[in-house]
Amino acid sequence: MEIIRTEKLEKIYQDNGVPVKALDDVDLTINTGDYVVIAGPSGSGKTTLLNLIGALDKPTSGKIFFESEDISKKTKKELSEIRLNKLGFIFQAYNLIPVLTAIENIEFSMMLLGVPEKERTERALAIMDELEIKELADKRPNEMSGGQQQRVAVARAIVNNPTIVLADEPTANLDSKTGSNLLDLMEQMNKEKNITFVFSSHDKQVIERAKRLIILKDGRIE
């Protein structure tokens, strides 16, 4: 089943008054259960594309369909509803809230959705158990290693059963063994739970595991 489709997607940024085309005429379809890696050199448009399909930004022209609905003209408020209800994000810098414990970080998006406290805690503990990070429940980010923080970020991304998980350079700050363990985990969730993953990465070990590889160069799909 189709989740995302882009048509003639274009994004132009202004750099000191000079227009820079970050994406140029990108047509792309992502289906349920896909494990997609968007690869390419720095400046090729990987993160821009991820931000657009993740409803974090709007295209200059072209269309983005999310579950067959055109989201390219939606308001900021409507896009934030889509992000909260349908999308999971895993970032290079983990983006955990420093003052919250691991379990509070995982519960945070459920709290925003109005999930009752008892159910939030049960769901957070269940996902932590699954990802083997239950012992981190009461630790804050500064008390965890990079790999532990990224596992908490993965738990936070999937606890709401999102339609799709977007991961921007998720292994960039991890050593190769920790990165490999994290990728094992995400591959397993893709196979067992049919969670759809879209990565942006130039990490060789991420690219090698792609079920589908999309290579961008100068804002275009090669």
Q: What average pLDDT score do residues 144-155 get?
A: 90
What does the block give as tokens for 140? 């804050």
pLDDT digits (tens, 9 = 90+) for 123-141: 999 989 888 899 999 999 9
- Burial profile 183-208: b = 16 or more Cβ within 10 angstroms, e = fewer: bebbeebbeeeebbbbbbbbbeebee
Mean per-residue pLDDT over the chain, rounded: 91
Element (H, E) at 180: helix 176-193
Q: What gap in Å lies between CA 216 and CA 221, rounded to an integer?
A: 5
Q: Which domains does the chain have, with CATH numbers?
A: 2-221 (3.40.50.300)
Beta bridge partners of residue 16, listed in sequence order: none
pLDDT digits (tens, 9 = 90+) for 92-104: 888 899 999 999 9
* Per-residue pLDDT, 14: 86
By residue count, the chain amounts to 222
Whose tokens are 């459920």? That residue is 110
